[in-house]
Structure 1
Amino acid sequence: MQDGRFAAEGVSMESLPDSRMLLAVLEHSPALVFVSEFVSGRIVYVNPAGVGVLGFGDAVHAYSRTTAELFTDVGLVQARDVESALADRGEWTGLTEFRHFVTGEPIPMLISTFVLEYTETGPSVIGSIAQDRRGAEGDEQRLQRALGESAYRAREQQAIADLSQLAVGGDLDELLTAAAGAAAALMGVHCSSIARVADDDELTVLAYRGPEPGPKTFAPGPGSQPGYAAADGSVVVCTDRVHETRFSTVGMSGRGLESGVCVPIGSDAVWGVLTAHSLRPREYTDRDLNFLRSVTAVLSAAIRRIEAEAALVHQSLHDPLTGLPNRTLVRRRLDEALDAVPRGGPRVALLLVDLDDFKTVNDSLGHAVGDDALIVLARHLRSAVRPGDTVARLGGDEFVVVCEHVAGAAEAVAIAARIAGSFADLNRARSLEWPISASIGVALSDPECTREELVRRADSAMYRAKAAGAGGYALYDDTFQGGGRA
């Protein structure tokens, strides 16, 4: 054998006992024999039988390949089991499926693979002997195939069971990650992802399993296969990117993907898409599609549960009329803001906003008009304060604003003045039949201030402002109470 048969430094037939006789056996063996590196999978030796059966052309061509490329997607399903067996026991024997490198034809194989060399970290060099089983469909092989199918179905069922258990009470991110991993492993594809449809119909990737870097987004509609599946609301199969005309395959091409399947997630409306893609053209079987549909069914049910729970939580923490945080939520946020205040640093300001004589609006114009006015005022309040400030409705005609990172009294009073002035602007802009104003009490936190004490101070300042006349504001201070009018 020529030295070119081996590509890995340190792996040499001539260094083995009786190497010439052993070499003759390998070169004339009708079985496929190859040697590879365990970690990288790089092929470092293949005998003439292997070159011929797999369509390499010559041994040198084989040395640019890895063992993963020998297998079809079906054969790759066993890859993790084989790696585990080699690491644990040093050998593995079973049926698998190779592919012909010219025609792409799947080739059933009976393979025995074993560790030839170890390092301190584990297996280093692997030897494999494979027998072409085409035309040898005997009872034993039929039994092995049946057992393999049964084992595969069991793995599918276990994967769905595991996902279903996560779906009952697990975190959504954890569930999505597990689902992408199950799709990639069970289907033997190069990569899998789950992407959610955004408001602009672009899809944002939330979970990914495969070589990095993974995709961050998919283009909407015909701009990508996932976008097309989301827009159409149906399973979209691409067996060969080269012949695809329904959607752009630029994204697939850029990542070296040649085929894929995308399955929408969601019941009434499309929430997102589950994707699975291969490096080679591939026919996706009914079994493949049914498995992915089962995964998306689990995801759809979990998403319905999570969104329903989120809606209930939101309803319990927000005012149903204005959509603003309610008393419960603003208490929580005020506690969090006070806990986060550093000594000697910025402070928390609490502004209590009480509409002046709003009962007259309800009595004169009706509660429907009053409700509409409250909705407009809530929206107006949000636009008058700083980004990050919390505007909440305590009930009736009373609102509160929580302002974090306030430098001092001057900044807090400036916020109150801006709110008071905005009410005057609103009255002028809308020519309201009954002008609306508010009295605003302002209180600043100190190092020992509790939520209850800060609310009491703001309430006291608000009554001081109201006593001075409608539309004013007042600051609570132990040594000085200042106020103003819009």
Structure 2
Amino acid sequence: MLSDVLSQVAAASRNPMDMLDVAARLLTEHLGDGANIRIVSPDGRVLLPGAARHRKPHAEELSRRLIAESPQGVDEGVGGQVIATGTPYLARHMPPDGQPVAERYRQYIDEVGYGSLIVVPLRSRGRVLGVLTVARDRGSAPYADEDLRFAVEVGERVGLLFDNARLAERDRMHAAMLAHVDAAVVATDLDERITVWNEAAQRLFGWEPHEALGHSTRELLLAAPLPDHDAVRDRVVDEGSAGGRLRLRTREGATFLADVQTSTVRDEAGEPSGFVSVITDLTERLALIDQLQGRAAQQSAVAALGERALESEDPGALLDHAVEVVRDTLGVDLAAMLELEPGGRTFMIRAGVGFEPGIVRSASVPAGWHDTQAGFTFTSREPVITDDAITERRFARSEILARHGIRSGVTVVVQGRGGPHGILGAYSRDVAAFSPDEVTFLQSVANVLGDALDRWSAEMETLRRSLHDALTGLPNRSLVLDRLGHALERAGRSAGGVALLFLDVDHFKHVNDSFGHGAGDELLIQVADRLRHAVRPADTVGRFGGDEFVVLCEDVLDETMAMAIAARLAAVFAQPFALGGDEHHVGASIGIVLRQGEEDAEALLRDADAAMYRAKERGRGRVELFDAGMRDRAEGRVRVETGLRRGIDAGELEVHYQPIADLGSGCVAAVEALVRWRHPERGLLAPSEFIPVAEDTGLIVPLGRRVLEVACLQAAAWTQERAGRPTVPVHVNLAPRQLQDQALVETVAATLAATGAPPEALVLEVTESSLVERGGMREHTLERLRDLGVGLALDDFGTGWSSLAYLARLPITGLKVDRSFVAGMEQGLAPITDAIVRMAFALGLDVVAEGIETEEQLRAVRRLGCGLGQGFLLARPLPAAEATELVVAAEPPFVR
């Protein structure tokens, strides 16, 4: 019977729990009414249910419930006694005599009705794994010693079979896990002979399992003997584990660095039985670490180069440093920055390291598509890698690189915003020496250089623009003054001569206003070009704005040499200038100053300017040498300008009014507003002392606005005082510069609105010559002014070149015959004056005769039928209070 039971148990031994279930069933059938097997838990604290069988169905349910609700500790009751002593237990009667039984088990025994009990240990390899219990009902014969021996034998054999099955299952689980572990797992005995060899180990080392098992790891796996091998082995045994890096070898003999973590395996008694090692190939990890470290080093190098580029003011030094960074970071033999030379056919090696002497900054490299790798890169605008220059077919091998033994290289474009600056290259004597990361690094360096070169180019262009005239490209005032300062320093050391010539283009304003700014700009460009070719290469020609040019000449010994230079400059104006298909003649007024002593640049320039103004005053087209009197006049002009600028803001301007008489009735027909300057030191100044300066400096525009405002306020006041009587309009002169003011119409409209003056109380006077220049645009301005309702009068008529047809087109309401015609009527100009008056009448214009100073002139004007007159004979310009008396007088003040 025993052999039958054991054979059936063994048949189920592949699954440990199934085996216990078979054992419990067979024991119930052959040895009692119920059997129960419990296993010591892994932590050794309680007995866990293994298998249970009972003939009575309710007994099995009660047993499971009891175990689930109250697990039995390994030191409790009879089971605990058996585990502790390893001695079988036989109770012929239940409950056993003298044996304490827990109340829950006593109730269970009573309910099930068990009468006798056997409890034996499950043993394996000297260890107690659990207990096997069989029981009989009270109605059955009690257990005998023979039953106990049978149960003990079954317990011994079942324990061993269970333990083996459990170990086998564990081995299967370990094998399954090892098969799916990426790392190589190698187990050995204490002599380091291989006992376990997983699939990862086979893939890593190349040995099949049957080839590896049983062989020593020292012989099979180590690349070289370890000097302290035995000491390491003993440390693993003592400490339980150890790890580190070892160089191992594969079946093919290739070596690699691996991380090896080894632990000691112990048997049931706790004694060392072998070792298990987890082996990880570090080749890819180390390569990745090297790659990441390389990238970090490259990124750090690029960042440092970028910081240096932002701080550097020397492009050459930065390029030299950049090629050194490329060489040191990539570990290459040569590195170079190639700059495209003028003409685009060759590169110059602008910066380089590793080259033989005499190459950098002197050697040229062909830039064609197929000529060199640099040319191919420049044309394709893409990074280019050469793995082996000898077998390269896309382009020819560089002679310079071949002479240095270069086999591989990578080149990238140094790109700028306006196009490529050049090519950056790294070269090696090894074949296929460059990785994608290294290409990226080189391109990053090139990008830093491209940005830096762009910045320097922009700064140089900004500097150039700040020192050169935008229109002509000539040096501007700042650069001329700088060069003049250096020239004076050199002359002071060598007692040499310096001449400064200040040139103003005569009649430029006429060209600019008559034919537009485009024609004026083209004229200035042509003048600049002619002047450049008229002087020596070492001389400086500059433009100060407008139509003013300056020529600086060194080594000019005397006035004769200076005058000869001026003659050459004046000669460039002898030929006409072609502007828009037409030829135009202009001249130049030239002022010359020679260095006399310790003058500074500003003083010399001021004196040359004064000489030029003297030339213009004497009739234009002249050359004047500076003298001290010119300086006094120039300084006077500066004082007038400074004072006038202050006086306008300080309210020092006064408006006087000269009546215009109705020669028939003797009444005041109108008044002309004439400005005076109440100078705080010099008293009341006439217009001739400050108006020319105001017109030259542009102060005429704010001055004119002030006069217009005061005149309109006075016109508004007179209109109120003369309520019910005809309006006496106020004539206000507009200078040519005011007509150029784009805000003129808006200014007049705003002034009328602000002062309350009615539009018919204002007449704006413009000169004939100012309308002839740029007539079309100014006609439009006059039309807009007439739309406001103000009157328009043509002043100084007869001094310009107006045709009758042109005059008829103008939206004017009157004209003033120039005083020269009035004064000349006694000398034969009466027919011309008569023609002017008749023409004006034909056009429906009011006519004012200016400059009536004698009784004979008054009678002549009346004979011509001219109804309005103005002049000292009738009334001088008067302050507002005195003019008011005439304007509001009840009786005509000019009855003659």
Query: TM-score interval w.r.t. the shorter chain?
Result: 0.5 to 0.7
- Structure 1 alignment gaps of length 5 or more: 1-130, 480-486
Q: Does 1:275 align with 2:417?
A: no
Correspondence for 1:466 among 610, 613, 616: 616
Higher alpha-carbon deviation: 356-365 or 138-147? 138-147
Secondary structure of residue in 2 paired with 1:370? helix
Matched ranges for 1:169-184 at <5 A: 169-171=311-313, 172-184=315-327
Q: Does 1:262 align with 2:404?
A: no
Structure number with greater CO (CA < 8 Å, separation at least 6) is 1
Secondary structure of residue in 1 paired with 2:470? coil
Aligned match of 2:182 = none
Once residues 219 and 347 of structure 1 are traced to their aligned partners in structure 2, the CA distance between those partners, rounded to angstroms, is 49
Aligned-residue offset at 1:182: 0.9
Secondary structure of residue in 2 paired with 1:237? strand
Correspondence for 1:435 among 585, 592, 602: 585
Correspondence for 2:440 among 269, 278, 290: 290
Taking a change above 3 Å as real, the CA distance of residues 276 and 476 of structure 1, as seen in their structure-2 partners, is: same
Aligned match of 2:355 = 211
Once residues 406 and 231 of structure 1 are traced to their aligned partners in structure 2, the CA distance between those partners, rounded to angstroms, is 52
Aligned match of 2:332 = 189
Secondary structure of residue in 1 paired with 2:471? coil
Matched ranges for 1:317-466 at <5 A: 317-425=467-575, 427=577, 433-466=583-616
Aligned match of 1:139 = 258
User: Given residue 343 of structure 1, which amino acid in structure 2 is its aligned partner?
Assistant: R
| Structure 1 contact 197–230 (Cα < 8 Å) conserved | no
Aligned match of 2:310 = 168
User: Given residue 240 of structure 1, which amino acid in structure 2 is its aligned partner?
Assistant: D
| Structure 2 contact 522–579 (Cα < 8 Å) conserved | no
Aligned match of 2:299 = 157
| Structure 2 contact 338–349 (Cα < 8 Å) conserved | yes
Taking a change above 3 Å as real, the CA distance of residues 408 and 189 of structure 1, as seen in their structure-2 partners, is: farther
Secondary structure of residue in 1 paired with 2:623? strand
Matched ranges for 1:51-200 at <5 A: 135-139=254-258, 142=283, 145=287, 147-171=289-313, 172-200=315-343
Taking a change above 3 Å as real, the CA distance of residues 288 and 445 of structure 1, as seen in their structure-2 partners, is: same
Query: Structure 1, residues 273-331: CA drift from partner, whole Å, max 9, x if none?
Result: 11112234334210110110111121222223222333333333322222222222222
Aligned-residue offset at 1:136: 1.7
Once residues 410 and 441 of structure 1 are traced to their aligned partners in structure 2, the CA distance between those partners, rounded to angstroms, is 14
Aligned match of 2:374 = 226
Matched ranges for 1:3-14 at <5 A: none
Q: Does 1:252 align with 2:401?
A: yes
| Structure 2 contact 523–579 (Cα < 8 Å) conserved | no
TM-score (norm 1): 0.65
Runs of 4+ in 1 over 6 A off after TM superposition: 131-134, 428-431
Secondary structure of residue in 2 paired with 1:139? strand
| Structure 2 contact 519–579 (Cα < 8 Å) conserved | no
Aligned match of 2:663 = none
Aligned match of 2:463 = 313
Once residues 317 and 372 of structure 2 are traced to their aligned partners in structure 1, the CA distance between those partners, rounded to angstroms, is 26
User: Given residue 166 of structure 1, which amino acid in structure 2 is its aligned partner?
Assistant: R
Once residues 394 and 623 of structure 2 are traced to their aligned partners in structure 1, the CA distance between those partners, rounded to angstroms, is 63
TM-score (norm 2): 0.36
Structure with max Cα Rg: 2
Aligned-residue offset at 1:180: 0.8
Aligned-residue offset at 1:189: 1.6
| Structure 2 contact 409–433 (Cα < 8 Å) conserved | no
Once residues 179 and 278 of structure 1 are traced to their aligned partners in structure 2, the CA distance between those partners, rounded to angstroms, is 17
Aligned-residue offset at 1:468: 5.0
| Structure 2 contact 333–428 (Cα < 8 Å) conserved | yes
Aligned-residue offset at 1:251: 3.5
Aligned match of 1:61 = none
Secondary structure of residue in 1 paired with 2:455? helix
Query: Structure 1, residues 350-386: CA drift from partner, whole Å, max 9, x if none?
Result: 1111111211112222222111111121222222221
Query: Structure 1, residues 122-160: CA drift from partner, whole Å, max 9, x if none?
Result: xxxxxxxxx999822122674665554444333212211
Taking a change above 3 Å as real, the CA distance of residues 366 and 147 of structure 1, as seen in their structure-2 partners, is: closer
Aligned match of 1:97 = none
How many matched pairs?
A: 349
* Percent identity (aligned): 38
| Structure 1 contact 194–207 (Cα < 8 Å) conserved | yes
- Structure 2 alignment gaps of length 5 or more: 1-246, 260-281, 630-896
Taking a change above 3 Å as real, the CA distance of residues 423 and 232 of structure 1, as seen in their structure-2 partners, is: farther
| Structure 2 contact 386–410 (Cα < 8 Å) conserved | yes
Correspondence for 1:242 among 365, 373, 390: 390
Aligned-residue offset at 1:334: 1.9
